[in-house]
Amino acid sequence: MDAVSDSTIQEILNGNMRTIARLISLVERNAKERIELIKKLHQYSGKAHVLGITGPPGAGKSTVTDKLIGEFRKRNKRVAVIAVDPSSPFTGGAILGDRIRMMNHATDPDVFIRSLASRGHLGGLAQACGETLRILDAAQYDIIIIETVGVGQSEVEIVRYADTIVLVTVPGLGDDIQAIKAGIMEIGDIFCVNKADKDGTERTVREIRAMLETAILNNAPTRFTELYASYYKNHQSDSAVQHSFAGHHGITNLPGHELPIPLPPVIATVAETGKNIQELADAIILHGTMLKETGLLEQRRNENLLWEIENMVLDMVTEKINSSESRNQLEKLVASVQLRKLDTFEASRKLFEYLLH
């Protein structure tokens, strides 16, 4: 198959699943042709609403994703899923099990699901995921969901491709919340307490709200504060919006703030039965609307692109620094440092200049 012929590009734009699948494989094995492919597809991408779903292992991310696909299909949206699963650090092999929960959608021609192992991509997980995203975006899926586990840096960071991030957690995991607080709390836009059929759900919902309030009080850099506040303010006389904020979002009065402050939605779901999944889907779609209406979508995508490009450059540097020529150069520099002809700063400076050539 000629990866980048015009007819291939046309097949992707038409949503030909077989072509899409084959081209994702091209990306996965870091084949050179993919560079031209991504270049040609770039102009057709940028329309999809990209959704990141993350949270601790076993929280129900795949089950939530499965039910969300159903909700989005009811609203006539075409949906694609990138399900990232950890690889074994020993053999590099992997069992990609997220799909088990989504088999109901296997034969739907408007749903495309692809599993991605977390390791073994020459260009790194972030690159493989980003390029897969471009292909699916060009294939005109309305919503693209990235499911990734909320542990391990490379796994977590790929939610940064998303416009909307849903954090899935479960009741009664005190430590879990601590872990979330330590890093990904700030990046969540919507909070989902799944397995709400279990004890302690209300308490966990309260704890998350309390944490969100604290974050706002401390002026912590969150993704959500500005967006919700601005949308809420613009729609002060819109009763539907006011109602939605009074519901799952919650509104809080904080000392030092004149106006009440809207919080992100915290939604208790039972993914297994579908309870409150409709509300979750509504919140996700509303979040997309808010991003567009407030103009913050562009800002967010700017931030995402900044991260993506920065990340790609770091990958390029890593690749280059690991080349045998660079290693040779480095060894020579080390020798000079040992002989006290160069200090370490001078040596690193010289290597840096060498890498730029």
CA 70/CA 93 separation, integer angstroms: 31
| 8 A C-beta contact, residue 23 and residue 3 | yes
Q: State which residue, 148 or 222, has the beta carbon closest to ligand GTP.
A: 148
Minimum Å gap between C-beta 24 and other proteins is: 7
Tell me the window of 41-49, 83-91, 191-199, 256-264 that interacts with other proteins (CB under 8 A): 83-91
Instruction: Please give the Cα distance from 20 to 146 (Å, whole number).
Output: 16
Taking the least distance from each CB to other proteins, the nearer of 119 and 223 is 119
The alpha carbon of residue 305 and the mean position of all alpha carbons in its chain are separated, in whole angstroms, by 13
Enumerate the β-bridge partners of residue 148: 54
Number of other residues whose CB lies within 10 A of the CB of residue 73? 16
Residues 42-61 that bind Mg ion (CB under 5 A): 61
Q: Is 254 helix (H, G, I), strand (E, B) or coil?
A: coil
Among 63, 87, 132, 294, binds ligand GTP (CB under 6 A): 63
Can residue 204 be called a binding residue for ligand GTP (CB under 6 A)?
A: no
Amino acid sitting at position 133: L
Residue 62 lies near Mg ion (rule: CB under 5 A): yes
d(CA 298, CA 319): 31
Give the closest residue to 189 by CA, choosing from 265, 297, 243, 296: 265
272 binds ligand GTP (CB under 6 A): yes
Residue 24 or 271 having the CB closest to ligand GTP: 271
Euclidean distance between CA atoms 54 and 168, whole angstroms = 6
**Contact between 99 and other proteins per CB under 8 A:** yes
Query: Taking contact as CB under 6 A, which single stretch among the options 13-21, 157-165, 264-272, 282-290 is the one that binds ligand GTP?
Result: 264-272
Site for ligand GTP in 133-152 (CB under 6 A): 149
Q: Which is nearer to Mg ion, 115 or 278 (CB)?
A: 115
Residues within the interface to ligand GTP (CB under 6 A)? 57-63, 98, 101, 149, 194-195, 197, 270-272
